């Protein structure tokens, strides 16, 4: 993070109110009631997810159970499978090879070594876990997926300590039926990936890794490159540890079950996630972050979900459109370029959808967006954390865009961007805020100095992107008090909690 205030203190409180859209000095507010709760981290072994909540712990309720497979195994019970060209050898009737396809038909632990031109199929109807230990294994298919789990209770892919493994699929699959695999590593069963080795996955035809049920990553170094989506866990996609890097044309890291209540969630509890994509970076019905490091280095929209909760962790997002977007997929398609509501003046605004919410309860969040920085088609709540938003430089969007209530009760928020559409926190937020539009655009590198009525410095920031507006909230801002915002030697006096005059340009969405 590059957030460098002179002083930052955090408090939590309960607040209600509406976002304030600042346009030509006008703003109104709409009130509703919400409750803020304390931040709680979650266990990585078994979790369940509900349809709503204000923290990750609240969202982890009793609708869907996350199954995390055990990566530990007894080597004496493992079956060695040696891959060699288009064949394989193993001392087990549960392993058979035909025409380059190695099929595993029973639960157990299988240690795969060597190079295979073909594919590995798991087809085990019996109860029990199928554990595939990749120990310097390379599997390349020129007809289909590299690993295809057709049937199993659950599958664990273990990356052996110190091993380097690679999976690559065909550019065109021989089987394009509805039940055909759609990824280089494809599983119809619950899938866990872990260990202390590395795995490189190349998706030449479609996606990189797909779990048609749930997918949990507990360790290892996983690198995925794909011509479509990177990693998909249909019911859930969970990262608890390890290092995951995705470079994809389609969505990078997503869960897409929109039909079953409590499903379709992405949960990051730990580890490192680095994403570069031409589409959405992290996407789910719910996106929950309780730890770890997230770097969306490039994306269309960096983080999208109907419910987004950030309790902890270090998150940096870069996007060509919205940085954080609490919306449905239909909302995203329908509202590009439309006006946000925010309680302000203007026509063509969307009504707030109270089923959509963004919560920031801790951690650090830095957003670089060419569209809206923090965007909620419903409500937004900040109770803690360090938040820096480098918003758009054109007036069609804003650093902040909230259609409903926008409550701040703690943490530090710095949002800079264009001034055509400015949204500030609710006027009755428990924590004070100030907002101002600049007389002219300030260049990247300009310093913002905020001082109180006595001339004492409250905070100083070097802003790393061109900007024409500043919104700031911290525990050091007292609602109703007077402050001075100085940029490049030009001072502007503002009153905390009062909409400024001078917002200019058209409203955006």
Beta bridge partners of 139: 116, 167
| Six token digits for residue 71 | 């990566």
Beta bridge partners of 20: 424
pLDDT value of position 457: 98
Burial, 367: exposed, middle or buried (Cβ in 10 Å; 0-12, 13-18, 19+)?
buried
Predicted model pTM: 0.88
pLDDT value of position 267: 98
Are 374 and 380 a contacting pair, CB within 8 Å? yes
pLDDT value of position 39: 30
What whole-number distance in Å separates Cα of residue 423 and Cα of residue 437? Answer: 11
- Quote the DSSP letter at residue 70: -
pLDDT tens track, the chain, 509 positions: 434 333 222 222 223 345 655 543 333 222 222 223 233 333 334 455 655 679 998 888 655 689 999 999 999 999 999 999 999 999 999 999 999 999 999 999 999 999 999 999 999 988 899 999 999 999 999 999 999 999 999 999 999 999 999 999 999 999 999 999 999 999 999 999 999 999 999 999 999 999 999 999 999 999 999 999 999 999 999 999 999 999 999 999 999 999 988 899 999 999 999 999 999 999 999 999 999 999 999 999 999 999 999 999 999 999 999 999 999 866 655 444 443 333 232 223 468 899 999 999 999 999 999 999 999 999 999 999 999 999 999 998 999 999 999 999 999 999 999 998 889 999 999 999 999 999 999 999 999 999 999 999 999 999 999 999 999 999 999 999 999 999 999 999 999 998 765 433 223 33
pLDDT value of position 339: 35
Are 225 and 201 a contacting pair, CB within 8 Å? yes
Count other Cβ atoms within 10 Å, centred on residue 77: 9
pLDDT value of position 65: 80
Residue in the structure block whose two tokens are 């409903």: 404
Transcribe 126-174 into DSSP letters. SSSEEEEEEEEEEEE-SSS-SEEEEE-SEEEEEE-TT-EEEEE--SS-S
pLDDT value of position 141: 98
Beta bridge partners of 58: none
Residues 6 or more apart in contact with residue 8 via CB below 8 angstroms: 386, 412, 459, 474
What whole-number distance in Å separates Cα of residue 304 and Cα of residue 361? Answer: 17
Count other Cβ atoms within 10 Å, centred on residue 6: 12
CA distances from 143 to 84, 95, 484 (A): 18, 21, 66
Are 96 and 103 a contacting pair, CB within 8 Å? yes
| Six token digits for residue 92 | 């087990």
| Six token digits for residue 36 | 């803020």
| Residue in 284, 174, 197, 299 with CA at minimum distance from that of residue 246 | 299
pLDDT value of position 351: 82
Count other Cβ atoms within 10 Å, centred on residue 494: 20
| Residue in 258, 257, 250, 255 with CA at minimum distance from that of residue 275 | 250
CA distances from 303 to 266, 319, 352 (A): 10, 9, 19
Report helix, strand or coil for 335.
Answer: helix
Report helix, strand or coil for 77.
Answer: helix
What whole-number distance in Å separates Cα of residue 272 and Cα of residue 161? Answer: 18
For the chain, the residue count is 509
């Amino acid at each position: 993070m590059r957030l460098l205030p002179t002083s930052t203190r955090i408090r939590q409180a309960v607040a209600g109110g509406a976002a304030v859209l600042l346009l030509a000095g006008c703003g109104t507010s709409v009130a509703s009631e919400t409750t803020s709760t304390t931040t709680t981290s979650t266990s990585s072994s078994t979790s369940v997810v509900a349809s709503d909540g204000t923290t990750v712990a609240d969202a982890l309720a009793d609708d869907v159970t996350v199954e995390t497979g055990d990566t530990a195994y007894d080597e004496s019970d493992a079956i060695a499978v040696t891959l060699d060209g288009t064949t394989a050898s193993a001392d087990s009737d549960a392993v058979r090879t035909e025409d380059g396809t190695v099929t595993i038909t029973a639960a157990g632990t299988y240690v795969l070594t060597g190079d295979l031109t073909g594919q590995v199929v798991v087809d085990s109807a019996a109860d029990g876990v199928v554990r595939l230990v990749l120990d310097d294994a390379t599997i390349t298919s020129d007809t289909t997926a590299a690993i295809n789990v057709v049937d199993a209770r659950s599958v664990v892919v273990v990356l052996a300590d110190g091993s380097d493994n690679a999976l690559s699929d065909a550019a065109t699959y021989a089987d394009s039926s509805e039940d055909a695999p759609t990824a280089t590593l494809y599983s119809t069963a619950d899938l866990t990936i872990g260990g202390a080795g590395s795995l490189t996955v190349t998706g030449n035809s479609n996606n990189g890794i797909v779990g048609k049920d749930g997918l949990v990553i507990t360790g290892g170094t996983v690198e995925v490159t794909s011509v479509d989506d990177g990693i998909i866990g249909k019911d859930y996609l969970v990262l608890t540890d390890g290092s995951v890097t995705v470079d994809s044309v389609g969505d990078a890291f997503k869960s897409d079950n929109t039909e079953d209540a409590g499903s379709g969630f992405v949960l990051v509890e730990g580890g490192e996630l680095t994403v570069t994509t031409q589409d959405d970076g992290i996407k789910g019905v719910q996106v929950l972050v309780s730890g770890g490091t997230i770097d969306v280095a490039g994306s269309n929209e960096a983080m999208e979900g109907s419910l987004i909760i950030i309790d902890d962790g270090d998150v940096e997002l870069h996007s060509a459109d919205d940085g954080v977007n609490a919306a449905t997929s239909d909302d995203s398609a329908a509202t590009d370029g439309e006006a946000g509501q925010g309680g302000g003046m203007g026509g063509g605004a969307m009504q707030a959808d109270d089923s959509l919410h963004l919560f920031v309860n801790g951690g650090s969040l830095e957003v670089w967006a060419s569209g809206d920085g923090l965007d909620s088609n419903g409500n937004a709540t900040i109770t803690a954390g360090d938040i820096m938003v480098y918003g758009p430089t054109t007036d069609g969007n804003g650093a902040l865009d909230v259609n409903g209530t926008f409550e701040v009760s703690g943490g530090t928020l710095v949002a800079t961007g264009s001034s055509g559409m400015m949204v500030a926190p609710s006027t009755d937020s428990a924590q004070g805020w100030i907002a101002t539009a600049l007389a002219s655009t300030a260049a990247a590198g300009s310093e913002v100095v905020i001082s109180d009525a006595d001339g004492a410095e409250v905070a100083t920031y070097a802003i790393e992107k061109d900007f024409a507006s500043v919104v700031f909230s911290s525990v050091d801002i007292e609602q109703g008090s007077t402050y001075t915002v100085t940029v490049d030697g030009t001072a502007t006096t503002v009153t905390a909690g009062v909409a400024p005059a001078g917002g200019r340009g058209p409203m955006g969405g």
